[in-house]
Amino acid sequence: MRERLVAAFVGLTVVVVGLFGVPRAYMVADMVRAQEQSRVDRVADLAAVVLDQRLDAGQLVSPDLLDRLTAAGEQVSVQLGGRTVVSTGYGQAPRADDLFATRRLAGGGVLSARRSATVVGDEVSQALLPVVLLGLGLVLVSGVVGFVLARRLARPFQELATAAHGLGAGELHPRLPGYPVPEAEAIRDALVVSGARIESARARDRELAVHASHELRTPLTALRLDLEDLTLWPETPQAVATELRRSVGDLDRLGTAIGELLELSAQQRRDSKTDVDLARLVDDVVRHAGEAGGPPVTCKSSGPVLARVEPSTLSELLELLVSHARRDAAAVRVEVDGGGPHPEIRVVPELAGGTSALAAQPDPGWSRASALAITLGGRLTRGVAPGEAVLWLPGERTPALVTP
């Protein structure tokens, strides 16, 4: 996009310079030729006056006299009484396009003055040089200005393209600034709304999976056990026991259907996982938390740490842990370590005075955070320090860790 903008800007400048410069060049060339023609006329007039006076005094006309009346690139010739006297300083053969002027002398002779077309061409070139340099300078300046403007105009769309690519990779909360360009602002709003809708749909899918797993499978298992017990009771008639066994089979088929649906949902979540640099993702979450105000949050990393997770779910989990750690802490430190057998993220609240009040407080969001960690294929545990949370994630070298 930037190359096209620069090309368009420079092309427009070239067209404008051409529309102005070409007519101006012709005007300058005509003006120089007119000035040179006036010079030839003045040389002819001056030579005619000098020669008339010399002829009236009865003196001869010599080439040396004519040389004193001419400058470089000029020639004066006189035809008197059948003979021709020519100045010797011309230095080149006459051409058809030389500037020419003639005067009749009082004694009956004819004086001719000539100025070289080569000299006139050099004068035209010297006069056109500023016009050419001005045009080239304008084209060069337009290229620089076009490059700067193209970068400024293209930067919002490049950021939007990166955000759109991240949206497809699972980064559903693009943090984009406002743009003065209405089109870029509209695209930004569309990306933010689309990310929120995708995140909402995924959250509903996770909630449905958890609800189906805990709220359907457990009662179905309990009901199946109760029905099996009833079939074994001596008081249960044989016909009723047979019907109960048939109902148990129906419950098994229902449980199998629920399991297939849960497995399909889990497979879709696994497909949405991508290779994520945990250090970069944590740094984004920490920066966003710092912009919201409150106790300072810092990030410490041992370098790029790769993990195959769903970025939006991990961001939600980290925001939940950081929000909880900031409640009564003077500061929060988030550490990313990839030196062990699996990636590890620690959220450590730095408590004022070393108190452990934070650890003693009930945390209603811990179960939610644990469920998100399991969804990521990881494990969330309490750390050694008060209020510390440790998140273990699957990396490139190890399989997923699941809370027992």
Divide the 404 residues of the chain into consecutive groups of 10 and give the mean pLDDT of each group.
Answer: 77 86 89 92 91 84 86 87 82 82 87 89 89 88 85 81 74 76 84 80 70 68 82 83 83 79 64 72 82 83 78 82 84 85 86 52 69 80 85 60 35
> Which residue spans of the chain are classified as CATH 3.30.450.250?
2-119
Residue 49 CA to residue 66 CA, distance in Å, equals 12
Position 357 scores a pLDDT of 44
Q: Tell me if 17 sits within 8 A of 139, measured CB to CB.
A: yes
Residue 403 CA to residue 393 CA, distance in Å, equals 11
Residue that the structure tokens 């359907």 belong to: 216
Q: Model's pTM, two decimal places?
A: 0.47
> Which residue spans of the chain are classified as CATH 3.30.565.10?
274-392
- Which three-class secondary structure state does DSSP give residue 195? helix
Q: Tell me if 6 sits within 8 A of 143, measured CB to CB.
A: yes
- Tell me yes or no: is domain 2-119 CATH 3.40.50.1950: no
Per 3-state DSSP, the chain is made up of helix, strand and coil in percentages (nearest 5) of 60, 15, 25
Position 397 scores a pLDDT of 42
Query: Checking DSSP bridges between strand 110-115 and strand 389-392, what pairing results, if any?
Result: unpaired
Q: Tell me if 29 sits within 8 A of 124, measured CB to CB.
A: yes
Residue 132: CB partners within 8 Å, gap ≥ 6? 21, 25
Position 353 scores a pLDDT of 57
Query: Checking DSSP bridges between strand 389-392 and strand 331-337, what pairing results, if any?
Result: unpaired
Q: Which CATH number fits domain 274-392: 3.40.190.10, 3.40.47.10, 3.30.70.20, 3.30.565.10?
A: 3.30.565.10
Structural fold of domain 182-271: Helix Hairpins (1.10.287)
Q: Work out the number of other CB atoms within 10 angstroms of the CB of residue 156.
A: 20
Alpha carbon of 20 to those of 26, 136, 157, 176: distances in Å?
11, 13, 35, 44
> Which residue spans of the chain are classified as CATH 1.10.287?
182-271
Tell me the residue type at 142.
S
CA-based nearest residue to 49, from 23, 29, 21, 69: 69
Looking at the DSSP bridge assignments, the partners of residue 74 are 115
Helix extents (H) in 349-402 = 357-360, 366-375
Residue 174 CA to residue 196 CA, distance in Å, equals 10
Q: Work out the number of other CB atoms within 10 angstroms of the CB of residue 142.
A: 20
Query: What is the enclosing helix (H) or strand (E) of 264?
Result: helix 238-271
